Amino acid sequence: MIKNHIKIAWRNLVRNRTFSLINTVGLAIGIAVFIFIMQYIAFEWGANRFHKNYKKLYRISTVYKEGNSSHYIAPGFAPLLKTNCPVIENYVRIADVAGNGIVSYLADRNSDLKSFREDKVAYADPDFLRIFSFPVIQGDASLNEPQTLALSKSVARKYFGEASAIGKVLTVNNQFGHTLYTVTAVYEDMPAQSDIKADILLSFKTLENPALRNDNDWADPKGLKSGFVNTYLLLKDNADTQQLSKQINNTVHQLQPENQTDPMVLQSFSDLHLAPSFNYPLQTFGNLLLVSLFLCIAILILIIAWVNYINLSIAQSLNRTREIGVRKVLGAVRKQLIGQFLCETFLITLGGVFLALLIVILLQPVYNDFLDKNLSLAILMQGWVWLIAPALILLGSLLSGGYVAIVLSSLNPIKTIGNKLDGFTRGISLRQGLVIFQFTVSIVFIVSTLVLYKQLGFMHNQDLGMQVTQRLVISGPEINGGKLRSQSFKNQLAALPFVQKYAASNDIPGRGYNFSADGITRLNPTPGDEKKSFSMLLIDNNYFDTYGIQLVSGQNFTANDVQNGYSNAQRIIINQKAAIQFGFKREDNIVGQKINWGKQFEIIGVVKDYHHLSLHEAIQPMIFLPAVSTGFYTIKLNTDHLQDKLNTLKNLYAKQFPGNPFAYFFLDENYDEQYKAEQKLGDIFITAASIAVFIACMGLFGLASFIARQRTKEIGIRKVLGASVLNIVRLISTDFLKLVIVAIIIASPIAWYAMDKWLLNFAYRITIQWWMFLLAGTMAIIIAFITVSFQSVKAALANPVKSLRSE
């Protein structure tokens, strides 16, 4: 029986090649998208799971009474906790990025200095490489001695090539000064699925020596005040974490009773990447919302593909009603017919799965580029995927194939043998429902895409209150810097003919502020003023001019202010937001006013508000402080012959700041980086929308061909009675357009709700407008019309004599 089923299924598929192909391709696209998204989800799901201690590791976080949380805690607690809490087997503290700076290696006097700017340098406790599963390939896993370090394999190769790194000495120049470290271990590069990322691990013990802290006493590993390390605890088997939590809080609050309102909590390592729920208060590395959104898209597209299968299969099986009738007459019972149709579904699904795998293999590089990840089918080789994915595909085939089978097998043999389709109209409303569903999903995607791109466009085109184009930013020196060199560098910049403007500042727009501070008030403050926070930026006297930031009143800093520094000059400039926050009424009266910040500072100018950071955030009250800044040099230049100009700048930089790598970027690109997530989301939506619309159209095509066939006689009679082709096309298309209009009505509030929520992420945002729905609806209608008219024109052009005779 099965053999007969497969045989006839195969012959049917071959005979209706075009239909089978459309059907298989539609399904394959759906499955391919599903597989791609499952790769991403498997990647996110599998993050950090490679650690053998995965289930026994916890991170300590503090939850503040304001509701936010931080995983940076003071390093001094960990050893105390280990002593007080016996279930703590071990701990490891990591001060990530704290060690960033310039690392150099000089093999001997005659060789060149190898120097790189490193941005994944962490201080770590001795047992780091034992507690976490990063395999050591050379040397000793311990960072027990001060001034020792471990390197990842690729960084080791960068400095030492193929030679052994063990025992070599590197110089690390960072905020803690200029320190020599001996390489004691080389470990495998940390995998992409690791949330802990470090290329260089410096022994945390080094910072115990005050001389190696460069006056940064906050970084004392015994300190209990400054939170700058991640503290991971390795617990003994079957440890009671609630009990431990209590003990930790008791210990900490005994030492610091003032922090009792800010409890410490244990974050399970398994919750480190993806939060266990949407309202999880602690910080995670991954984004549960995005993962869930992705999952929804995957499932929706898969459902659309199955729905499509149903519509196409039923349309296609019209050619087989007679066959079904004959089989019934010959004694086939429903079960056998259902078996046969399921067999066909299974074959198509199998074909779809294979085609999908082919698509995935071919498009994997494109997808990886898109996600900036290195995913492959290999990541899906996990127990749960093997369980879920086939189950889903089986369920889908059973549901869609089962529906088709039930509809077809229920046909009355007498009618089908006479080739009448009356009995076939059953389930048409369900199929219409399915088309409405497909288009609803498509329209939600289209509207979301429109809103997303509109918001992106708004952010790109919004007047930022400053100029970001044609601004080249050079990172300042970490070593061999200093006031004099900086001034000399600026003087030389000024002398270059292509440098139109230049400025130095300690931070730049799109990146951040130097620090935030409160306790800054007018001389006659009102209570509560001291709690208001201001964002501070250290700049030179060219900053406003170079960035085109407008001075509303007062004057700019002088070169003298900059040389003296803000502490001596006691002169500041503020933005309009700050003026309001201080409580000043009118800008012109502000200049010359004094504020209190430990000592008195004079406000010498007010600048117009500008978007120092992205439009996600509201403009902050800012205070600009004069300083010889060496963090970043911004140069306004024309980008013609850019390479020559860059070479000139690079030579100048190398001469002025020897040992510092020359690193530069364009401010506009850097500023746009802040919208990378939105850009990516936009790309995802446009892809999802296109796929959804494409597959939905295939389903619509199927339904249209079914209806056109079903109404052949009616069309014939109408034509005999004088209907034009246009009349007929209109007759058939109207029914479908109605479905699309229903979809628009359902989709609009859903899309509006979702995108309104999304827009709340932005302090500056567009409002969702009616024309977006109109545009999405019109697009859907046009696409649907083109799809349907292919069938309806065909039906309208058919010879009526023929269609009537067939009755």
Judged by CB under 8 A, does residue 343 bind another protein?
no
**Least separation, in Å, of the C-beta of 432 and another protein?**
23
Q: Is 425 in the site for another protein (CB under 8 A)?
A: no
State the number of binding residues for another protein (CB under 8 A): 23
- Candidate segments 261-269, 413-421, 488-496, 748-756, binder of another protein by CB under 8 A: 413-421
CA–CA distances in Å: residue 310 to residues 30, 437, 446, 732: 14, 13, 24, 21
Q: 709-738: b or e for each residue (b if 16 or more CB lie within 10 Å)?
A: bbbbeebbebbeeebeeeebbebbbeebbe
Under rule CB under 8 A, residue 407 binds another protein: no
Write the DSSP assignment of 345-404 as a string of letters.
HHHHHHHHHHHHHHHHHHHHHHHHHHHTS---GGGG-SHHHHHHHHHHHHHHHHHHHHHH
Here the tokens at position 155 are: 């960084």
Q: How far is the CB of 387 from another protein (least distance, A)?
A: 36
Query: Of 120 and 415, which has the nearer Cβ to another protein?
Result: 415
Interface with another protein, residue 4, by CB under 8 A: yes
Which lies closer to another protein via its Cβ, residue 414 or residue 618? Answer: 414
Amino acid at 698: M
Kindly tell me which residue out of 251, 336, 364, 670 binds another protein, with binding defined by CB under 8 A: 336
Query: What span, in angstroms and rounded, lies between the C-alpha atoms of 123 and 778?
Result: 58
326 binds another protein (CB under 8 A): yes
List all residues 6 or more positions away from 60 whose beta carbon is below 8 Å from its beta carbon. Answer: 71, 73, 77, 231, 232, 233, 248, 264, 265, 266, 267
Nearer to another protein, 414 or 663 (CB): 414
Structure tokens at 600: 């008195």
Q: Does 332 bind another protein (CB under 8 A)?
A: yes
Closest residue by Cα to residue 349 from 417, 399, 314: 399
Name the residue nearer to another protein (CB basis): 330 or 484: 330
Q: How far is the CB of 20 from another protein (least distance, A)?
A: 13
We find the least distance from the C-beta atom of residue 320 to another protein, in angstroms, to be 9
Please choose, out of 19-27, 182-190, 319-327, 591-599, the segment that lies near another protein by the rule CB under 8 A. 319-327
- Cα dihedral angle (104, 108, 112, 118), rounded to 10 degrees? -10
329 binds another protein (CB under 8 A): yes
For the CB of residue 3, give the shortest distance to another protein in the complex, in Å. 9
Least distance to another protein from the beta carbon of 412, Å?
Answer: 8
330, 378, 495, 760: which one binds another protein (CB under 8 A):
330
Cβ proximity of 446 and 754 under 8 Å? no
> Which one of the spans 2-10, 152-160, 392-400, 475-483 is the region binding another protein (CB under 8 A)?
2-10
Find the part of the chain contacting another protein (CB under 8 A) among 18-26, 411-419, 620-628, 666-674: 411-419
Rounding to the nearest 10 degrees, give the CA dihedral for residues 172, 178, 182, 188.
-20
Nearer to another protein, 140 or 714 (CB): 714
Q: How far is the CB of 734 from another protein (least distance, A)?
A: 25
Stretch that binds another protein, among 4-12, 171-179, 189-197, 549-557 (CB under 8 A): 4-12
Packing angle, helices 712-720 and 770-797, rounded to 10: 80
Given 21, 107, 137, 333, the residue binding another protein (CB under 8 A): 333
CB-CB neighbours of 605 under 10 Å? 20
Between 59 and 328, whose beta carbon lies closer to another protein?
328
Is 484 a binding residue for another protein by CB under 8 A? The answer is: no
What is the DSSP secondary structure assignment for residue 73, as one 8-state letter?
B
- Cα 190 versus chain centre, distance: 21
Position among 205, 327, 571, 636 found at the interface with another protein (CB under 8 A): 327
Greatest CA separation found in the chain?
A: 104
CB 590 within 8 A of CB 578: no
Report whether 131 contacts 155 (CB < 8 A).
no
Q: What is the DSSP letter of 317?
A: G
For another protein, give the closer residue by CB, 10 or 116: 10
Residue 56 or residue 327: which is nearer to another protein going by CB? 327
Question: By CB under 8 A, is residue 334 in contact with another protein?
Answer: yes
Cα(783)–Cα(776) distance, integer angstroms: 11
Among the listed ranges 9-17, 31-39, 261-269, 476-484, the one in contact with another protein (CB under 8 A) is 9-17
Distances (CA, A) of 480 to 152, 630, 657, 661, 737: 27, 11, 6, 12, 72
- Give yes or no for residue 413 binding another protein (CB under 8 A): yes
H runs (alpha helix) in 721-769: 725-759
Contact flag: residue 1 with another protein (CB under 8 A): yes
Per CB under 8 A, the list member of 59, 71, 273, 328 interacting with another protein is 328
Work out whether 389 is an interface residue with another protein (CB under 8 A).
no
User: Where on the chain is the footprint of another protein (CB under 8 A)?
Assistant: 1, 4, 7-8, 11-12, 15, 322-323, 325-334, 336, 413-414, 417
